[in-house]
Amino acid sequence: MNRLFAAIAVSLSLVSLVLAQAGEINVVPKPRSIILGTGKFGLRKDTKIVVRDEKGKLSANLLNEHLFKKYGFKLKIVNKPEKVNAINFWPIALDKSGGYPDEIKREKYSLTVQSESIQIGGTYTGDFYAIQTLMQMLPAQFAKEAFLPAVTIVDSPRFSYRGMHLDVSRHFQPVEFVKKFIDQMAQYKFNNFHWHLTDDQGWRIEIKKYPKLTEVGSQRPETMLERNFAPYKGDGIPHGGFYTQEQIKEVVAYAKARYITVVPEIELPGHASAALAAHPELGKGCAVADYKFEVKKTWGIFKEVFCPTEETFKFLEDVLDETIKLFPDSPYIHIGGDEVLKDFWKESAFVQELKKRENLKDEHEVQSYFVQRIEKFVNSKGKKIIGWDEILEGGIAPTATIMSWRGMNGGIEAAKAKHDVIMTPNDFVYFDYGQGDPEFEPLNIGSYVPLQKVYSFDPVPPELTTDEGKYVIGGQANIWTEYLKTPQSIEYMAFPRMLALSEVLWSKKEDRNYQNFYERMLAALPRLDKQGVNFRIPEPIDVGGFLLNETEAYAFEVRPPLPGAKVYFTKDGSTPTENSPEAPQKISVFPVGDEVVTIKTIVVLPSGRKSSVYAATFMRGKMLEAMTVENPKEGVKFNLVVPDNESQNRSGETKTILLNQFAMLADLKKDLGVQYDGYFKIPADGVYQFQIESTWDTTLVIAGKKIIDESGTSANVKRNAILPLKAGLHPISLRYNHRGGDSTFRFRWGLKGQGLRQAYGSEFVH
Ligand code: ACM
């Protein structure tokens, strides 16, 4: 055995796990109660399905459809009792009113496998979920018989609202993919599909009364190329698309057959550029008269906002009226309400007049007035509104359900005010956020929400009492598609994180165990592969930064994360290919002196699909000790030097390291030098990565070590360095020398392998 030493193992993958054993119940989400029996049931082609009523027939047909898809055959359906070689769907007793007492009971089921037969008990919905469980338990291959272990499962969900959101405005997605996504939701027992149909970059729902919404609002001439905000660079490719009302009905019916409610979102009063490009008259009275509204080609928060005129309310009521008719089974209409910039309202004589007339104190109250008028209309049609947590500002609409996305605070406030809450906090369940090292992951919006973080999500935060917690009706992950153009890219971000969320929302909190989940998730991946889902392939090694002491080697196991997968690796920093060495069981690393060794791996599935690069970086030495600073003040000292105009030279203190703070002092397109000095706050011991993205020359010194020192060109370049640091304050000096043209200067940092983000001013002191 090698002696191993790793001072820090930034480890998120559980690579040493053995795949779950055959015979275990590898079901996701974990059922409420599982009691293993003895023996096994062999499903054969002559097994019969026994039904006793209409419910049973429907469920039997559904099971047959699944069996046909999986094994290519259907079973005979009979209505006479069979003691052996049978799957029985039992009728269930309704309550006295003839209905099911509540949603949760409606979703409950029991599934008993004995060696002679299988018994399934539940409502229509319960049977549906029992079939999802059964299909996960059946082996991939059928050879004369497919064996199921004897077991009694009794199952029901923890939350009544189990949601997935999909933004089809930023990038339109075809109906076929939406259906595939719904199939996957059903497989993991989600029951609400939040369809984000309108936003600045495209209006995607046909409204018969206003055809321009889709004629104009669903099209944009091009989209920003990658992340080229400034200077803007477009891809030159027109993008567009919308769903006809017939297609929407088709999707709603498809979802309904899978016990999924589709909740449409019509964004208001902000995120309205596409609607306003089609109907500029609805922004007039707020924006200046000749304001040019357009379907946006970039991402962010825009000033474009509906003007709260009677004409606008009439328009929105018409739109909502048609929308409500298309989604008859949804108790909710989501009206957005997030990220509304109030600039146009503040400048508008009309809005100022409205404030006086309606006694509204500020523009937040104008937003509240806007939302409450819409709420009244939606309520009058027998529906309730959902809004993002910003609708709490300026006074909450009386019957609104709050979708808390800026963390959980909005949800906590709403639950305390006795409003229903759906938790979708960005730091746990934004599936557009990165899952790994941004150096290797496909381009995404940034940040870092790995699988384990999703699994650690609890929709009921400790700030709520038991009674307040009851207002949390569930949770949801959101998939915003700014950087996700294709179904494959959406699936990459959704899976396997969706499996973790399904367990958060369905399974008992007391049963939460990441290691156990991870094993069941691994067992689910070959099935997802067969279903053509482009999930993110699990890491075959512990990724991240590792610090070794002076003398020791690091040896680790590399295991294919899935049966039949191959792992290839390099030790010289190059990107592995299928021609690189195939991983042996163990790799050993021995950095010499200051050498930094990076092991890069890729995984290739039996289907030929390749993973992103997963890397582990090793270095020697000690973590650098933190310093104490007397009377620290937030921010850094700066020194600005303008060689061609010394009168513009400045030094002082600042709370940001962005260059645009000097735009009023000097011409940022001419030669200049900026240096920032201070201390950087490191939150925890670890191997950190620092990155400067810049044009021209840049230097980064941390704790006396010059870790970046390069001259650049007019092109953006990212420079990276890593350093092991103890928690606390470390001296930092950042220098940027601009030599003309457009400038870029960004400082990002993070634990190695776990995503990078821009540093806040509050993370520096001097
Ligand atoms: C949101 O992410 N703006 C709801």
Q: What is the residue whose two structure tokens read 């015979």?
A: 23
Q: How far is the CA of 270 from the centre of ligand 1 (A)?
A: 11
Measured CA to CA, the distance from residue 100 to residue 92 in angstroms comes to: 10
Lookup: tokens for 508: 């008992």
Q: Is any ligand 1 atom within 6 A of the Cβ of residue 638?
A: no
How many residues in the chain?
766
d(CA 52, CA 77): 10
Q: Find tokens 């350093």 and name the residue.
A: 723
- Please tell me the distance between residue 9's alpha carbon and the centre of ligand 1 in angstroms: 34
| Strand partners for 736 | 674, 698
Strands 686-694 vs 745-751: parallel, antiparallel or unpaired: antiparallel
- CA torsion sign for 661, 663, 668, 672 is negative
Q: Quote the CA–CA distance of 544 and 53 in Å, as a whole number.
A: 57
The pLDDT assigned to 100 comes to 60
Query: Distance between CA 525 and CA 532 in Å, rounded?
Result: 11
Q: How far is CA 276 from its chain centroid? A: 28
CB 405 near ligand 1, within 6 Å: yes
Pair 23, 609: CB distance under 8 Å: no
Are 470 and 417 in contact by the 8 Å Cβ rule? The answer is no
Atom of ligand 1 nearest to the CA of 336: 4
Residue 287 CA to residue 120 CA, distance in Å, equals 61
Read off the tokens for 696.
């021209």
Give residue 688 CA to ligand 1 midpoint distance, Å: 29
Cα angle 284, 290, 293 (rounded to 5 degrees) comes to 70
Is residue 394 left, alpha or beta, with left meaning phi > 0 and alpha meaning psi from -120 to 50?
left
Exposed/middle/buried for 550, CB within 10 Å: 0-12, 13-18, 19+?
exposed
In angstroms and rounded to an integer, the radius of gyration of the C-alpha atoms of the chain is 29
Main-chain dihedrals φ then ψ at residue 257, nearest 5 degrees: -65, -15
338 touches ligand 1 (CB under 6 Å): yes
Under the phi-then-psi rule, with left for phi > 0, alpha for psi from -120 to 50, and beta for the rest, what region is 511?
alpha
The maximal CA–CA distance of the chain, rounded, in angstroms, is: 97
Please give the pLDDT value at position 10: 33
Which amino acids are annotated catalytic?
199, 271, 339
Which atom in ligand 1 lies closest to the alpha carbon of residue 403?
4
Contact 520, 28 (CB under 8 A): yes
| Cα 71 to chain centroid, rounded | 33
Distance of alpha carbon 602 from the chain centroid: 23
Measured torsion, CA atoms of residues 251, 252, 253, 256, in degrees rounded to the nearest 10: 120
pLDDT, position 104: 66
Query: Closest Cα to residue 544, out of 598, 588, 580, 493?
Result: 598
CA of 338 to the centre of ligand 1 (A): 6
> Exposed, middle or buried: residue 502 (CB in 10 Å: 0-12, 13-18, 19+)?
buried
CA–CA distance, 578 with 564 (Å, rounded to integer): 15
Residue of 169, 199, 266, 338 best suited for mutating to test ligand 1, as the one with most atoms within 8 Å of CB: 338
Alpha carbon of 406 to ligand 1 centroid (Å) = 8
* Cβ of 427 less than 6 Å from ligand 1: no
Question: How does strand 48-50 pair with strand 86-90?
Answer: parallel
- Dist CA 199 CA 273 (whole Å): 7
List average pLDDT for each run of 10 residues in the chain, which is 766 residues long: 32 37 78 95 98 92 96 96 94 67 79 97 93 96 94 96 98 98 98 98 98 98 94 96 98 97 98 98 89 97 97 98 98 97 96 97 96 97 98 93 98 98 98 93 94 98 98 98 98 98 98 96 95 96 90 85 92 95 86 92 94 94 93 96 94 93 91 96 95 94 93 90 95 95 91 88 93
Q: What's the one-letter identity of residue 325?
A: K
The H or E element spanning position 90 is: strand 86-90
Sequential DSSP letters for 105-173: HHH-EEEEE-SSEEEEEE-HHHHHHHHHHHHHHS-S--BSBEEEEEEEEEE--S-SEEEEEEE-SSS--
User: Could you identify the atom of ligand 1 that is nearest to the CA of residue 271?
Assistant: 3
Q: Is the minimum distance from the CB of 433 to ligand 1 under 6 angstroms?
A: no
Phi, psi of 739 (to 5 degrees): -125, 40
Q: What is the rounded distance in angstroms from the CA atom of residue 689 to the CA atom of residue 686?
A: 10
Contact in structure between 483 and 458 (CB atoms under 8 Å): no
Q: Per the structure block, which two tokens stand in for 406? A: 């800026």
Amino acid identity, residue 705?
K
Using a 10 angstrom Cβ sphere, with 0-12 exposed, 13-18 middle and 19 or more buried, the burial of residue 732 is buried
Residue type, 40: K
Question: How far is residue 170's CA from residue 271's CA, in Å, rounded to a whole number?
Answer: 11
Residue 96 CA neighbour count, 13 Å, CB half: 0
Q: Is the CB of 388 under 6 A from ligand 1?
A: yes
Q: State if residue 318 touches ligand 1 by the CB under 6 angstroms criterion.
A: no
Alpha helices (H) in 430-549, listed in sequence order: 451-455, 466-469, 487-494, 497-506, 514-530
- Give the residue from 546, 556, 539, 558 showing the smallest Cα distance to 591: 546
